[in-house]
Chains A and B, each alone.
Chain A
């Protein structure tokens, strides 16, 4: 049962799932940590990322390394309209944001049903071959996903730690009033954080849609993933989102390989509920 082929598959699947989950959860945790918004429309943005990649790569056949970031960027920039129209009203209002953004999720999901119909599409894989490494057989497209995610996460980390805007963003997350007193334009920082968060979500959505399938309802799974990962790691904690994503990715990869998808969902939900009850602030979060 534990042949090298299966082990290799479990590891590569685990890593690529982790990579997507971390990207999705980072966007979610960023919106929560800085604006105190629980983004129930998160899955919808991932879905839009999927459609953007479908058009740029599948239809207009742009080169893959260009299509992936461009698709995410287009979704993020267009979403700034939604930031002005919708999100702005819900900043620092946790409860209203949950219900209001559930509404946004519904509106976006069914608008895309109207535009693109319900049937599932597929984005052609960028690479179809396999890589042989010793006894291991690794699928090339999964490795590609891992590579893209690592680049994105590295860029995000550099942005948050090395640039002025990144530092300003962390200051705003810590304390809005003190950040403003230091001369930080928090309104701009909010927009920037929103842009970054949606960029990563749309990027992950594109990769997710390419591995699985693209439909207006594909956002449900990424939304639940974002919840689970962020609760695991701690709401608003960036290292927590990374840790939670890796834990969930590998748990799912291992459990669904050996026991099936249903068992894996039951276990991960059950663990999260147990964690919420005994340690609601998550593994790396701070208790309130």
Chain B
């Protein structure tokens, strides 16, 4: 699988420029990038003000929440593992948080931390064992693991309410019962999460993750404790998935096992794949795309799934780097035209 992930977009490929020029170009790229980020955040912040439609507001909230899940999975993917159990960890966070709120009457903030901690604890328990596996074996184990977690939700009726789930979950705080307030709450959570992931990826830890993904053995020879690093990232990512699940449950006011099955894990993977797996922006594009497209095709649920499937096939066959690779290719084409 290293053959797909190593195709990162290299800035130096833009043309035979001297070091000085390249530096200027880098700075220019960074300025463009910062402007784009600023524009995106401003757009997201102003989103509820441009219209009065509560449906669009709900969409915005769902996108913000799924950004948390998709970027947290992105962290795991950047260490070279594709987890198909991520929705399971979402579910653990959701159920633990909801049960703490509803059965023990704990305040929301404490319960949220509890949910994240539960997901993290489960990840810490199984991470050191499963992260020794590579490629296809990891995919298969996490696939089965996700099924087991979902089956626990279905079978443990006394705690989880079985397939019916738990209804009537209150809003986290009375102030957040209002949709606008929850939107800004979710947006803040998403921005915090993205900022946190970006900080990890641009730090020395991020570079260590890249080296582990490209070649674990070489990384170990350079003194990187590969397994320890992967477990740490896995635990952090699963805790964030737990936060995603808990917030989602409190936003929708119910939880049931069907939100945490294989299809949902797959959705998170697809967000990363369609957006592009080599950059943090990939999962963000992917979650916007994958949350909004289903709603546009709402009347044709089956057709929409068929189209999804075909998009996945085409992306994997022609563009393993996702939408980001498409933009990179276009940019390279333009650059070659210009010279």
Give the B-binding residues of A (Cβ under 8 A). 38, 86, 89-90, 93-111, 113-114, 224, 227-228, 231, 235, 262, 265-266, 269-270, 272-273, 276-277, 280
B interface, size bucket:
35 or more
Decide: A103 near B316, CB < 8 A? Known: A98-B136, A110-B302, A265-B151: yes
Q: Which of B271-326 contact A (CB under 8 A)?
A: 273, 302-303, 305-306, 308-313, 315-318, 320
Q: Which residues of B contact A109 (CB under 8 A)?
A: 305
Which residues of A have CB within 8 Å of B4? Answer: 95-96
The CA-CA distance from A93 to B135 in the complex, in Å, is 12
Task: Please give, as numbers and ranges, the residues of chain A lying within 8 Å of B136 by CB-CB distance.
Answer: 38, 94-95, 98, 235
Q: Are A273 and B144 in contact (CB under 8 A)?
A: yes
B137 part of interface (Cβ distance < 8 Å) = yes
CB within 8 A of A227: which of B144, B270, B303? B144
B135 contacts A94, C-beta separation under 8 Å: yes
Contacting pair A107 B155 (CB below 8 A): no
Residues of B within 8 A of A104 (CB): 309, 312-313
- Asked if B246 is an interface residue, CB under 8 A from chain A, the answer is no
The reply on B129 being an interface residue by CB < 8 A is: yes
In the complex the two chains form, what is the Cα distance from A110 to B1 in whole Å? 29
Is B132's beta carbon under 8 Å from chain A? Answer: yes
Query: Can you list 30 contacts pairing A with B, beta carbon distance less than 8 Å?
Result: A38-B136, A86-B317, A90-B316, A90-B317, A94-B135, A95-B3, A95-B4, A96-B317, A97-B316, A99-B269, A99-B270, A99-B316, A100-B315, A100-B316, A100-B317, A102-B309, A103-B311, A104-B309, A109-B305, A110-B303, A110-B309, A111-B302, A111-B306, A114-B302, A224-B147, A227-B143, A227-B144, A276-B137, A276-B140, A277-B130
Q: Are A96 and B140 in contact (CB under 8 A)?
A: no
Report how far A269 CA is from B135 CA in the complex, Å.
19
**Interface of A (DSSP majority class):** helix
B39 within 8 Å of A by Cβ? no
From the candidates B3, B129, B137, B147, name the one contacting A269 in the complex (CB within 8 A).
Answer: B147
Q: Is the CB of B148 within 8 A of A266?
A: yes
Chain A residues whose C-beta falls within 8 Å of the C-beta of B270 in the assembled complex? 99
What separation, in Å, do the CA atoms of A107 and B270 have in the docked complex?
A: 14
Also in contact, A106 and B143, with CB within 8 A (given A90-B317, A94-B135, A113-B302): no
Chain A CB within 10 Å, residue with most, of B4, B144, B273: B144
- Give the residues from 138 to 160 in chain B that come closer than 8 angstroms, CB to CB, to chain A: 139-141, 143-145, 147-148, 151, 155
Q: Which residues of A contact B273 (CB under 8 A)?
A: 99
**Of residues A102, A262, A269, which shows the largest number of chain B Cβ atoms within 10 Å of its Cβ?**
A102
Contact A96 B130 (CB under 8 A): no
For B272, give the chain A residue with the smallest CB separation.
A99
The answer to whether B148 touches A86 (Cβ under 8 A) is no
Contact of B148 among A97, A102, A107, A269 (CB under 8 A): A269
* Complex contacts, B135 vs chain A, CB 8 Å: 94-95
CA distance A95 to B315 in the complex (A): 13
